[in-house]
Every structure is written in structure tokens, then in C-alpha cells.
Chain A
Amino acid sequence: MLGSYFKIAFKNLRVRPLRTWLTILGIVIGVFLIFSLLSLSEGLKEAIMSELRMMGGNLIFVMPGDMSDMITTFIGGMEISNSDIEAIARAPGVDRVITMPWSAEVARYEDSSKMVLLVGSDWRESLDVLQTDMGWNLTGGSWPIPGRSEVIVGSLVPVDIFKGLEVGDRLNIKGRLFNVIGILRSIGSKQDDMMVYMDLDNFKAITGKRKGAQAIMVRVMDNWSVDEVADNIRFELEETRRRRRDDNAPSFSILTSDTASDMVGNVMGIIQLAIVGFASIALLVGGIGIMNTMYTSVYERIKEIGILKAIGARKSSIVAIFLIESGIIGLIGGIGGIILGVGMAKIIEIYADIHPTFYIRASITPGLILFGLAFSFGVGCASGYFPARHAANFKPVDALRYE
């Protein structure tokens, strides 16, 4: 019976094709917006999460400033001071403290001079942590030897910054020559993959930055809980500030992989909610379009409704036919919106690949497609409900008399 209603509904929609397609277009736009934005934001979330997953479970990151105000932290050039670093090292359960300061410097390769982000790291302390806990790998070359004028470069440096750069080539940074000893496999974020990594002593010599760091990486001793050590670090840092009576010392944030994942999850959740909220407005407009079309259709078909009722259609049958019509409009709009949304997401993905800002992959799952289809069908049905009820409530004798 429902199959028959679907056939009747399809035929009804084909009577006024232009109006039907224009109404469908309204839904296409709404679903397209929701689908493309949701798939991209989900992809973004997955990219960040995968990066966080690469961060070892026994690592703690300490950063200056409040996590809720990262922009001020970075623009303000806030740093963890040497005394803070010493305090962190004192905290029970801390196995190793690794500083990785960075600075933007001009580097020269053959005839090309480009601004690159230099990262300094004490290879003696950090190499095994980076390899085992952060999952760093080389695509070519070897790991640097501490103290030597050697650099390893992110996977995108030979692709996007110094095209053709190979292991064995030399980079001139502030007048000093460095051997490119290794090229890293992608670390996960585009920024990280575009950095040049060198021994901390060389970094200090080049940049003149001898104190502090923008971020500290801490490895937790075996058999210690990460949360417990994080609490110990917090205690030591607060104690240091109390002892120094230094009210001007910047606040700090302690981040474990769990808290980072939670934070990203929460932030992305809010972003996605906002995206769905805004895009839903477009879909709402599409829904109102369906309602308008269905009301118009009801008024044009009063006599037809009367005929159907005269030959035995119950109220529920009339409601079903009109709901299916509006649902079909929603569903076709949904299919169109999803196709366009996938297309747009893929275009943005390709654009992001070409223009290195951030790794972004559209996350298009069967679940998201099903959600899109069900949602658009639901919007169609919901929008058609009142017109359908209106149609069903016509008295057959009045409807038959209508001209």
C-alpha cells in the first residue's frame, strides 16, 4: 500500500515539475551547506585527534598562558622561564624535560631564500622521546648527531619550501651552513611538517635565544600515572611562584594527551554545533519552501482530495500521500545536497593539499550520508505535515464542490 502511495506521490510531483525542482533546490542548498561543513569539520577534528594520538600517552606538555587564551599566549610571546623549567624537572615522577623553542628565521637553499620556522631540541635528551613517544620517522637519511651542524627537515620542506631539497644538501641559516641529514615522515600537522629541526645549542647560537621556551615536553617515569605527575608539576610551578612572590609570572597550562583530546573534542563539538545551527537556517528556509509548495498544492488539489475521499481514502491516506510528496522533495534535495557537499568538500581538500595551511580531509562516512538523507527526508515530512493535515481535514462533499 505504501508503495502505491509512493507511486501516486511521484506522479503528483511530476505534474508541476518546475515548482517541484525549485523547491528541491532550496533543500539542496541547505543540505549542501550542512553536509560540506560537517564533513570538513569532522575531518579537521580527526586530523587534530590523530595528531594528538601520535603524542605519547606518557607525555605531558607545559605551556605558558591559559589554554582558553592561546592567541594572547602566542602573540604576547609568552615563555616558560628557566626557573619554571627547573621546577618542572623537580616534580616527582618526571623522567625527562625537553624544551623545544622555535623561531622564524631566513634560510637559504641554492638561490632561494625563505622564511622557515626553526625548532631547537637537545638531541641527547629528545631523540629517543621523539622517536618512541612521538612516533617520528625518517623517509630518508639518518638522525642527527648532537652538536653537529646538521638539521632534519619536515616532510613538506622539500615539497613546498625548498623544492628538490635532498638529504646531503646544505641549508644556509644566518650565515651558517647546515647539512640536511634527514627528512621526516609527516608528523601530522602541516605546520610541523614545514619546520626545520636542529640541535638546541646551534639554535641558541643562531637565534640568540638562550632562556626559556614556548613549550615544554615532559616524559613521565615508568610506573607513574600521567595525571599524578601533571598534578606534581602544577604543584611545583605554583610553589615556585609563591616562593618568588612573582605575581607577574605568566599562568601556565598543563596538557596530557587525554586532556588535549577532551579539549579538542569539546571545542570541535561546539564548532560543529554552531555549523549545524547556522547551516540549519538554510535548511529551515528550504523547509519553509516545501511547506509553501505543499500548501499551494493542497489548495490547487482540493477537488482531487474530495475525489480521493469519495472513493474511500481515509484521512491517514491523504496525510500519507502528501507527506510522502514532501518527504520525496526533501529526500531528493538531500541526495543533491550530499552530492554537491561531497564535491565541495573534496575541492577544499584538494585546495588544502595545494596550499599548505593545514591538513584537512573531508570525513564522509556512511553514517553521515545516512544522517543527511534521513534528516532531509525528515525536514521534508515535517514541512509537509501541516499542509497534509489541512488536506486531510477537508470535508469530501465541500472538496468535491470546489472549482
Chain B
Amino acid sequence: MAVNSIIRLEKVVKKYSLGKIDLTVLKDVDLEIKPEIILSILGPSGSGKSTLLNIISCLDIPTKGKVYLKDQDVSLLTEDELAVIRGKTIGFVFQQFNLLSHLTAVENVSLPAIFQKIPEVECLSRAEKILKDLGLENRVNHRPTELSGGEQQRVAIARALINDPEIVVADEPTGNVDSQTGTKILDIIDELKKKSKTVIIVTHDLNVAKHGDEIVNIKDGQIISHKKK
């Protein structure tokens, strides 16, 4: 059976307990994401877009509803099974870069491959190649503190790509860089689509969201629009 969507959410509800109060962050969200597109999730602060991204990227599981990744119901998987999926299928790019400060760029990039039990030599050679592709060949052995914001974000992208995942999720990827660097980051994201990756971007910036082939607008935990170009 051909896979029409790479990710599918059915009636997803996510609640958080704050003491005796239950806070519903996502309310019956249905979403279908096709492969090899850039999908932007747009919404203001507190709209539930990051929670939605966490569920899409298998970082969190829904309180109710189903999440399918390539037709596999991931809401039933254990934490370790989800970790394997995250490592193999999903690459993460965070707003704060989230690089480990005591490791060099190449070591940071090689980490996801190490967790997939790939021999260290291969992890490092892969990491060096990706860093070179992203124009960081002279920054391979630099620590994050020795890199600019843009360089750090490119290292984070390299880390997201090392296991050649089908999906790349980016949470406010341009949020911590200047506009010029932001443009470069978005160019890299465009390149990823050309390499048959599915890219999901969470942003509150309409200009960034416009890079997407599809834009999902979320407000108060509900999808209010899903526009396709």
C-alpha cells in the first residue's frame, strides 16, 4: 500500500495537569503531512504549536488520539522505541541550537549516529562531510562557544541530518539568528526539500512560514487553517 502521508494525526488531544487544573493544549487535532514537502506550523505564543511539533516528532505522546508515522501508530510505542524512531527517522533543529558546549562541532554532529550504534570512525567521517557540505569545514573542531549563532545553527542542522532522516523538524530555526543568517538557514531548508526530506517548521514569523509548501495555522490548540500553495 502506497504511503500517502508520512505523518497523520487523528483527533489528537494533549492535556497537562497543573495541580488540580487540567490544561488542554491541543484539542482534537487532525493533520495529515505529505512526504517531501515543507510544512510550516504558524501560530502565536501559547497556541500549542510547539506541543504539536513535540507530538509530530515523537518527543511526546498524545493524551488521546492517534499519531501515525508512515502508517505506524506511534502513540502505542515505548519510550525506547520512540527514541529509535527519533534517531533514525527524525532530525531536530532547535531554536536555541541545543548543542553540547563541551563537545566540538564534529562530536556534536556525530552524536545521533553514535546512538544508532554506528562505528565511531564512520560517525566522525559522516559528520565531517556534512559540516563541509554546510560550509563549516574550518569549524569542525571548534566548540559551540567558539562559533557564531549562524554557525551553531548550521552545526545543529548538520546534527539533524547525520542519520539521513526522512523528516526534519525545526522549532523556530531562525529565531536566534540575524535576518541575513536566517535567510541562509531557510535556503538550507529549501535544499533539504530538494533532497526528498519532509521538513516541518514551527514559527510565529509569517515570512518564515511562507517558505512552506503548506501552512498550518494554529490557535488555542486547534488548527484553524491548513493552506496549500
On A, residues with C-beta under 8 Å from B are 1, 3-5, 7-8, 11-12, 14-15, 303-304, 307-317, 395-397, 400
Contacts and interface: CB of A to CB of B under 8 A. Distances in A.
A128 B75 CA distance: 90
B115 A313 contact: yes
A309 B83 contact: yes
B73 interface: no
> Which has the most chain A C-beta neighbours within 10 Å: B60, B87, B102, B115?
B115
Main secondary structure, interface of B, reads: helix
A15 B88 contact: no
A107 to B, nearest CB: 72
Interface string B82-97: 0110111000101000
B29 interface: no
B45 to A, nearest CB: 14
B163 A312 contact: yes
Main secondary structure, interface of A, reads: helix
B79 A315 contact: yes
A4 B100 contact: no
> Which has the most chain A C-beta neighbours within 10 Å: B54, B88, B111?
B111
* Interchain residue pairs A-B with the least CB separation, the first 8: A312-B87, A312-B115, A311-B112, A397-B60, A4-B114, A314-B80, A397-B59, A314-B83
A312 B112 contact: yes
Interface string B115-137: 11101100100000000000000
Nearest to B80: A314
B159 interface: yes
Nearest to B100: A304
Contacts of A316: 80
Nearest to B81: A314
B103 interface: yes
Contacts of A396: 59-60, 83, 86
B183 to A, nearest CB: 26
Contact of A11 (B87, B88, B102, B163): B102
Contacts of A7: 120
Nearest to B117: A1
Contact of A314 (B60, B100, B115, B123): B115
B48 to A, nearest CB: 13
30 contacts: A1-B114, A3-B120, A4-B114, A4-B123, A8-B103, A11-B102, A11-B103, A12-B102, A15-B101, A307-B98, A307-B100, A308-B115, A310-B92, A311-B87, A311-B111, A311-B159, A312-B83, A312-B86, A312-B87, A312-B88, A313-B83, A313-B115, A314-B84, A315-B83, A316-B80, A317-B115, A395-B79, A396-B86, A397-B54, A400-B94
